[in-house]
Structure 1
Amino acid sequence: MSDHGPWADQRLRAAWARQDWAAIFREYRRAAGGLSQRDLEPLTGFAQPYISLIENGKRQITSAEVVDRITRGLKVPEELGGVPEHRHELSDWQPPSELRDRIAHAHSTGRADLGVANWIKDVLSQHRRAEDEVGGRELWPVVRSQLDAVTRLLPNASGQAADQLLILAAEHAHWLSWVAAQEDQQGAALSWLDLAHGWAIEAGSADLTSWVTRVRSHYTLRRQDPIRALRTAESARDVPGLSPAAAAIAAHAEGMAAAAVGERERARRLSDEAFNLVLQVPDEGDRPGWLYWLDPVRARLQRADMAYSVRDWSDAAALYAESLDQLRGFPRDHAYYTARYDDARSRI
């Protein structure tokens, strides 16, 4: 991290992760050796009085153009969402071969500084939440750059450190797969998912291996191939050593596929199983990072989706109604589930 200058400082990185501009300016000046506010003028393009207003919380930065100018001026590292050395355009959907090449050298001896990786993990968690609200199209280049940063650390890692980096790389590849699928880039989505699956297995992560397999089942079900989707979902549940949250999502996936092939009783049984498993881990900190959203509210919505899939319209409508008010902060999800609620009610 020494080549990042002030950005090696953890307090500065924490401020950037929060997008707290007042703290970013203060911590940057401190980490850069005690710069004055006037020293920031040529870097940010702001006059000293305006910088003072920002640091005092009296001015907010909201313009994307201004953010980009500051990001470049302060030389924010690529892995934190700064200016990438090689911009990854949306037209570049497929995973490049150099990612595989870096992974192939992941078990050489050496020491990798996991500080960078831990901060990238924090940034990815923010992107997950942002994707919930605005979609992932705008975040694609940033996450691709973060994945590059993670895989560049691998040749100097071994043992547990290499496993942690592989899991983080797999999480990024899964995210990229999901966004590609939303953009109807199905071939690229499967390619990224293949990378995520292989890396999860190599790292020995049962939960992530099961989750990626479940995502493949979801893709297959969306392509109207329920038999293959059911077979894939069964594989997701067969992974030994799953945590309750991962087991819950795998059970739900198998239930949805079972409903699609007409096995309604099996789907209902799996719905109950999945719901009860989620209730075992209501706190986000007890679930894998990519399942941050699987709280009791989402568990009820999944149960509603299962009831909808097996045509239990009254149950579906009641379960949707219980949760809709708690989705106000997620406009896309609120609109989606409201439509399903209205449709279920119309069929009663």
Structure 2
Amino acid sequence: MESDPRHEFGVRLRRLRAAKGWSLAALARRSNVSKPHLSSLERGSRRPSPTVAQAVDAALGADGALAALVADGRHDHDHHCCDQTRCDQHLHDRRREPALAADEAELHLELYRRLFADLRALGQTGSSDLLLPSLRAGATTLASAAARCDGQVANDLWLLAARYAEYAGWMAQERGADAASAAWTEDAARWATNAGDADMVGYAWERRALLALYRGDAAETVALARRAGAEPKVSARVRALAARREAQGHARAGDYDACYRALAQAELLFADAPAPFPAGASWGPNSIPDDSRLVEGWCLADLGRPARAAELLAAEVARVPAGCPNTRTRFVVRRALALARAEAVGEACAVLAEAVPAVARADSATIRSDVREVASTLGRYRRQPAVRALLPDLEAVLRGR
């Protein structure tokens, strides 16, 4: 006999709450779900909605385990190829369901906006593995809700679904799952287009350029970044991000003049680039008000000017906000790479040795790729005591996944 999903959800919810040592009232305060509602869920007398399941999942830190119990046929890009026909059919099926009530649609927006802010903050301190279940569930729940609405509330739901999907794409890349990253980014572009937002289509090309950059393909990075900037109706901000990515591609190719032309273009575009989302939130990095000098330092390291790169990165890393440890770690590793290339081996080892615990905590495929490059460069000096002492720690970090 098939188990009742309401009973299974209630048992799991009660166990998770008990493990935290929380009363129903305590969980109600943390999840913004009423105590009587929670009591009904635990008894199995009420079917949980995806919105409520996501809210209690986030409050209990269940990493998607509760939300998955009411996933309602959601697809998982990390375990399947992106079957667009199947995804579109799922949303078409949802459109056949009764329209979503206005108050439930607004509850979706309120809960998932708050959750998204929390997930973005967590993304600066935790591993992508902790974030992806909630991002996947949030993206597909919001897209399904948007398919059952009309008007402005539908646009708001599509746009929020797109933001979840775009961030899921970045976290998938941080896991080293490039195919899943591309699939989520494509979803984000489609869903943002449904909301009337043209920027995400251009930004999707910029994200593809980033994947090419980490593959070491300079020419493809430049081509994709230019494609991003050439998309019709794309904002100045996305064109600026694309120009900056193009600069990194030119730097990887060793073309100093082309790199600095692209950086100058990006600076002009950023000066004329109002953020399209409230409170400064927009497609692309939002954790640092101005990271242009960090990107310049990144480029200089690839342009054969490692001493200048290390100097610039040292000054700019000190300005990274305390709440952005993963961003700080990323550029500390780039500074260590610049020092190693400048043959300042002892200083490179000291900088990287201090960063090793943070690299392990971040558990980032992109940061590890830079660590791998530093380790390769330092390998030329393995007879030096500082290098011999550090290499085992670097190898341990690189075996971390």
Q: In the alignment, does 2:144 pair up with 1:162? A: no
Root mean square deviation of aligned Cα: 3.9
For 1:200, the equivalent position in structure 2 comes to 192
For 2:79, the equivalent position in structure 1 comes to 92
For 2:220, the equivalent position in structure 1 comes to 228
Contact 2:25/2:35 (<8 A) preserved: no
Q: Deviations over 1:210-262 (max 9, x none)?
A: 22211111112222332222211111111244444323211111111222334
Q: Deviations over 1:167-197 (max 9, x none)?
A: 2222222222222222222322222222223
In structure 2, the CA distance between the partners of 1:101 and 1:117, relative to structure 1 (3 Å rule), is farther
* TM-score, normalised by the number of residues in structure 1: 0.69
For residues 22 and 265 of structure 1, the distance between their equivalents in structure 2, rounded to whole angstroms, comes to: 62
For 1:237, the equivalent position in structure 2 comes to 229
Structure 2, unaligned runs of 5 or more: 1-23, 43-47, 58-65, 343-401
In structure 2, the CA distance between the partners of 1:251 and 1:117, relative to structure 1 (3 Å rule), is same
For 1:101, the equivalent position in structure 2 comes to 89
Q: In the alignment, does 2:108 pair up with 1:116? A: yes
Large movers: runs of 4+ above 6 Å: 21-24, 27-30, 87-91, 105-109, 281-284
Describe how 1:1-348 pairs up with structure 2 within 5 A. 32=35, 77-80=52-55, 82=57, 83-84=66-67, 85-86=69-70, 92=79, 94-95=81-82, 99-104=87-92, 113-278=105-270, 285-288=279-282, 290-296=284-290, 298-327=291-320, 328-348=322-342
Contact 1:282/1:295 (<8 A) preserved: no
Contact 2:78/2:177 (<8 A) preserved: no
Structure 1, unaligned runs of 5 or more: 1-20, 44-72
In structure 2, the CA distance between the partners of 1:29 and 1:162, relative to structure 1 (3 Å rule), is closer
In structure 2, the CA distance between the partners of 1:195 and 1:30, relative to structure 1 (3 Å rule), is closer
Count, aligned residues:
294
Contact 2:199/2:238 (<8 A) preserved: yes
For residues 154 and 55 of structure 2, the distance between their equivalents in structure 1, rounded to whole angstroms, comes to: 20
For residues 252 and 294 of structure 1, the distance between their equivalents in structure 2, rounded to whole angstroms, comes to: 15
Q: Deviations over 1:104-159 (max 9, x none)?
A: 47888956523312431331232122122212201222222212321221232224
For 2:362, the equivalent position in structure 1 comes to none
In structure 2, the CA distance between the partners of 1:117 and 1:304, relative to structure 1 (3 Å rule), is same
In structure 2, the CA distance between the partners of 1:129 and 1:279, relative to structure 1 (3 Å rule), is farther
Identity of matched residues, %: 19
For residues 91 and 104 of structure 1, the distance between their equivalents in structure 2, rounded to whole angstroms, comes to: 22
For residues 312 and 136 of structure 1, the distance between their equivalents in structure 2, rounded to whole angstroms, comes to: 33
Contact 1:93/1:180 (<8 A) preserved: no
For residues 186 and 271 of structure 1, the distance between their equivalents in structure 2, rounded to whole angstroms, comes to: 26
Task: Give the aligned residue type for 2:279.
Answer: G
Q: Equivalent residue of 2:123, what SS?
A: helix
* TM-score, normalised by the number of residues in structure 2: 0.61
For 1:48, the equivalent position in structure 2 comes to none
Q: 1:276 Cα deviation (Å)? A: 4.6
Q: 1:286 Cα deviation (Å)? A: 3.2
